[in-house]
Amino acid sequence: MREMIKLDLSRSRVDAQELQAAAAGLEEAKAKLWSGEEPFTGWVKLPFDYDRTELEEVLAAAEQIQKQCDILVVIGIGGSYLGAQAAISTLKSGKDNVPEVCFAGQNLSGTYHKELLDRIKDKELCLCVISKSGTTTESSVAFSILKDELYRKYGKEEAAKRIYAITDANKGILREETAREGYVSFVVPDDIGGRYSVLTAVGLLPIAAAGIDIKEMLAGAESAAAAEKEDRGAAASLAAARMALLSRGKAIEVFEYYEPSLFFFGEWLKQLFGESEGKDGKGIFPAALQFSTDLHSMGQFLQDGNQIFFETVLNVMKPAQDILVPESAGQLLAGKSMNEINQAAVEGVIAAHEAVGVPIIKLEIPELTPYYFGQMVYFFETTCAVSGYLNGVNPFDQPGVESYKSEMRKVLMKL
């Protein structure tokens, strides 16, 4: 049996009594999550129940994309792209026969999209458009622009063979267009919200097209799901610790990582926790910092600033590669590996921050492989959902997001 992500709460400053008080509703929250009766909890049992026929269809479509193009542009925003970008940037297949994966429709910058058009104009191209409704402004605009580029390069009939749509099963503008034009398509499940959709076709198609082993990813998620189901997992304990810290005024969680490839995983965590917990005047504000880089900008605040935060350290135990530091670096560093020095930074930062009273939570991630990435996704999805239940909010809706959209439409109507 392979290892699991390990949770270390020994420096969290949460004592057993606090943890017990925070965990008072833990069994109820877990039962609710696993009941199958709550809306948008289809992801909970997904690793056990994933449609194997669909999985093979996803793999076949990914193989076709690899044959068709040099660049795959994934069009989507929020949960429609962040999980895929997190996986692709974290895992980097290193294979020569896979397309570069770019992202569009995650912002409304004309400069960004013009530069993207310039970059892809002489390349073989495919699009993967991801939107449940087909009406999200950012992705709708980007799809229109990039579809026009496909028409220009290939003509409408050939372009349709290079568009892959992931959308609602039965309704919506994108589903209607998909049926009319004959795009290869997959479904955004009705019972899984965007930020919990990494392990559906939403994430799996672009990830597979990038040459990453999605079967291993699902196996890792299944191992995490089995652990949580059998009360061997640590996600619920982390949720209880987070709520105990929140009750003490620790309203910001700083996710810290020492491997730069985890940048977009940090962005995914920010969306997962921010959109799930931030409602009804409640929640923990999620931030993400890349160390040691950000120690030279935010380290001072973390050491001596207003302690309204706690730190959650994502520590990778076996990074993919390493190099030795040459003699010219001086006696302290010469002959050591960079990973040894990086690990010294991990322990040094923890010791320094712990000494001034900062609560530290540490997660040990064995390796950055598809298997452990699947574990990480499921672990944090569960932590987030249970935290929401413990804090008395629905972790699966996002009513506040609709407010800015409504106001933006009013402005657009005046233009």
What is the predicted pLDDT for the residue at 182? 96
Q: What is the pLDDT of residue 316?
A: 97
**Is the pTM for the entire model greater than 0.85?**
yes
What pLDDT was estimated at residue 275? 96
> What is the structure's pLDDT at 22?
77
Quick check: 128 and 209 in contact, CB under 8 A? yes
CA distance 160 to 51: 26
Strand 360-365 relative to strand 6-8, pairing: antiparallel
Residue 318: the pLDDT is 96
Say if CB 115 and CB 143 are below 8 A apart.
Answer: no
**pLDDT tens digits, 359-383:** 999 999 999 999 999 999 999 999 9
Low-confidence ranges of the chain (pLDDT < 50): none
Structural domains of the chain, with CATH: 6-36+217-400 (3.40.50.10490), 46-212 (3.40.50.10490)
Q: What is the pLDDT of residue 136?
A: 87
Distance CA 305, CA 377 (A): 31
**Active site members:** 275, 296, 405
Q: Would you say the C-alpha torsion 107, 110, 112, 113 has a positive or negative sign?
A: positive
Number of neighbours of residue 213 by Cβ within 10 angstroms? 17
Q: How far apart are CA 296 and CA 303, in angstroms?
A: 12
Contact present, 245 and 359 (Cβ < 8 Å): yes
User: Which residue, chain included where needed, has tokens 């998620």?
Assistant: 221
**Residue whose tokens read 């390796």:** 367
